[in-house]
Amino acid sequence: MASLPATATAPTYEELQAVVVSLREELARATAAPSTLAAGASRAGTGAEVLARARAQTSMSAEVVDWNPYSRLMALQRMGVVTDYERIRTLTVAVVGVGGVGSVAAEMLTRCGIGKLLLFDYDTVELANMNRLFFRPDQAGMTKTSAAAATLAVINPDVAIDAHHYNITAPDKFDDFLDALQSGGLAGQAVDLVLSCVDNFEARMAINQACNELGQDWMESGVSENAVSGHIQLMIPGRSACFACAPPLIVARKGDERELKREGVCAASLPTTMGIVAGLLVQNVLKFLLGFGQPTYYLGYNALSDFFPSMVLRPNPGCDNSACRARQADWAAHIAAHPEDDTQLGAPPPPPPAVAPQSTENAWGIVIECDEGEEERSQPTAGGDAELVPGVRPAYNPDAPPTNDALAPRVDAADLDLDALRAQLANM
């Protein structure tokens, strides 16, 4: 338990703030601990009991009942959208950057029932973050990873969460980052996908380097400095362009991105744009990992014109990243040995197999029968006066040729002057 330093003078504001942050982090760890939840259930018997029981669910039930958090997700499987939705419980996703996009993406994956999340961030929650989604004012001062882990554990305690509070670009932390990606899966294997939700090029290049070295699939995302555009991008080492294949100009020039910052001006931030980009990102994650629909390799978003450009970026044979070139060579060797795997990037997936009906039983005894004479009434008739259904007749016979009687009176203009024509029109 955190305590104030034993001094003769009153504690300073900084010391009090440090104690508050420490207490909040202890509370977050206690909230996420299953033993604490079970103990709270025995004492309170209300909300904590629900959480403790929910954590015991090891599989996804398709039963349609109010207490089942997975019934509407499993409906995707019943409707034939996804072949095996429950496979998501075996998957691990690493989210690098738990900010405006990353925190929302982590929440969406948690609600979707992902098996495990790895969270990476070195920053703390600030009141300046409250214009975004997810974080709460009472979490100010906590590390973003611990605050996110506590919130996500309450939303879905079935999800395993590993929080890593460090900067992946630090020289002494890059190897730790590599190790986490290699062994952070549910069974100690590599993660299934890495999501880049960072806000600087240095961190993106670090993720790019790690994923190229490991041959790890990943997705990159970002929101513009003016907060009205964004993008997502899928990167498969060796098959699609990495971040260094077509880098931003400041990166290509080996410059310092801090030169782009204007003195006294902070980047704009809209929760709407960040929420949209996070939604597009996680939608692409689900399609890619669960094998339904067509994952996009690049999708942009311009809020000012509602423009969504999409394209496929192929790897650059002259990429500056040696690991990227090595992955390209590996893929070329694989295709030489297995030409059947040489599918075009962005090609539509094969149609899903037909889904058999869940049940052929007619528990309610519903029978469809034709009423007597219904078949005769359904046949088209040539007569304009025939009844379509009892009491309803057509306004006209569409098969009958037009007659002069149905037309407006014709005017022969050959024998009339202009004044006579005007008078005729006035009387019509």
**Count of alpha carbons within 13 Å of 424, Cβ hemisphere only?**
13
Q: Give the whole-angstrom CA distance, residue 101 versus residue 142.
A: 18
Q: Please name every residue paired with 298 in a beta bridge, in sequence order, or none if there are none.
A: 233
Residue labelled with tokens 């046949």:
379
Asked if 133 and 275 count as a contact pair (C-beta separation under 8 A), the reply is yes
Strand, coil or helix: 50: helix
Q: What are phi and psi of 162, to 5 degrees?
A: -115, 120
β-pairing verdict for 298-302 and 193-196: unpaired
Of residues 292, 280, 160, the one with CA closest to residue 220:
280
Q: Which helix (H) or strand (E) holds 21?
A: helix 13-32
Pairing of strands 160-164, 116-120: parallel
Residue 216 contacts by C-beta under 8 Å, 6 or more apart in sequence?
Answer: 181, 190, 191, 194, 210, 237
What's 88's DSSP letter?
G
Concerning whether 266 is annotated as a catalytic residue, the answer is yes
What is the four-CA torsion angle of 309, 315, 318, 319, rounded to 10 degrees? 80
Which helix (H) or strand (E) segment holds residue 290: the answer is helix 271-290
Cα–Cα distance, 285 to 221 (Å, whole number):
12
CA distances from 382 to 228, 389, 390 (A): 61, 15, 17
Q: Which among 112, 245, 266, 370 is annotated as catalytic?
A: 266
Q: Is 149:161 a contact under the CB 8 Å cutoff? A: yes
Catalytic residue ranges? 266
